Amino acid sequence: MKHEKHTIGFDAKRANANRTGLGNYSRFVIDALAEACGDRAYLRLYIPKRKANAEFDALTARENVESMVPRGGMWQRLSALWRTVHVASDAACDSVALFHGLSNELPLGLARRSIRSVVTIHDLIFLRYPAYYKFIDRKIYEWKFRSACRRADRIIAVSECTKRDIVKFFGIDPDKIDVVYQGCDTMFAEPVTEEHRQKAAARYALPERYILNVGTLEERKNLMAIVEALALLPQHIHLVAVGRATPYLDRVRRRMAELGVTDRVHLLHDVAYRDLPAVYATADVFVYPSRFEGFGIPIIEAQSIGVPVVAATGSCLEEAGGDAALYVSPDDVWALANAVKGILADVELRCSMVERGREQVRRFDAPCIARDIMKCYKHIGIDLTDELP
Regarding whether 372 and 339 lie in a shared domain, the answer is no
Regarding whether 150 and 27 lie in a shared domain, the answer is yes
Regarding whether 238 and 175 lie in a shared domain, the answer is no
| Structural domain includes residue 246 | yes
| Structural domain includes residue 129 | yes
Regarding whether 130 and 227 lie in a shared domain, the answer is no
Beta-bridge mates of residue 45: 10, 67
| Structural domain includes residue 1 | no
| Structural domain includes residue 31 | yes
Regarding whether 172 and 237 lie in a shared domain, the answer is no
Regarding whether 191 and 179 lie in a shared domain, the answer is no
Query: Averaged in consecutive runs of 10 residues, what is the pLDDT profile of the chain (389 residues)?
Result: 80 92 93 93 96 93 95 90 95 97 97 98 94 94 98 97 97 98 92 96 97 95 98 98 95 98 96 95 97 93 98 93 97 98 97 97 95 96 72
Regarding whether 89 and 172 lie in a shared domain, the answer is yes
* Cβ count within 10 A of residue 4: 10
The CA distances from residue 226 to 113, 201, 212, 281, 288, in Å, are 51, 21, 10, 19, 8
The residue length of the chain stands at 389
Regarding whether 169 and 209 lie in a shared domain, the answer is no
| Structural domain includes residue 386 | no
| Structural domain includes residue 143 | yes
Regarding whether 245 and 157 lie in a shared domain, the answer is no
| Structural domain includes residue 385 | no
Identify whether the C-beta of residue 166 lies closer than 8 Å to the C-beta of residue 172. Answer: yes
| Structural domain includes residue 384 | no
According to the model, what pLDDT value does residue 209 have? 97
Residue 117: which of 382, 383, 389, 387 has the closest Cα?
382
Beta-bridge mates of residue 267: 241
According to the model, what pLDDT value does residue 386 have? 60
Regarding whether 21 and 142 lie in a shared domain, the answer is yes
Domain span including residue 69: 6-183+365-379
Regarding whether 44 and 176 lie in a shared domain, the answer is yes
Overall pTM surpassing 0.85 (yes/no): yes
Regarding whether 175 and 301 lie in a shared domain, the answer is no
Q: What span, in angstroms and rounded, lies between the C-alpha atoms of 101 and 114?
A: 16
Question: What CATH number is attached to the domain comprising 55?
Answer: 3.40.50.2000
Identify whether the C-beta of residue 104 lies closer than 8 Å to the C-beta of residue 119. Answer: yes
* Longest alpha-carbon distance in the chain: 69
According to the model, what pLDDT value does residue 60 have? 95
The count of structural domains within the chain is 2
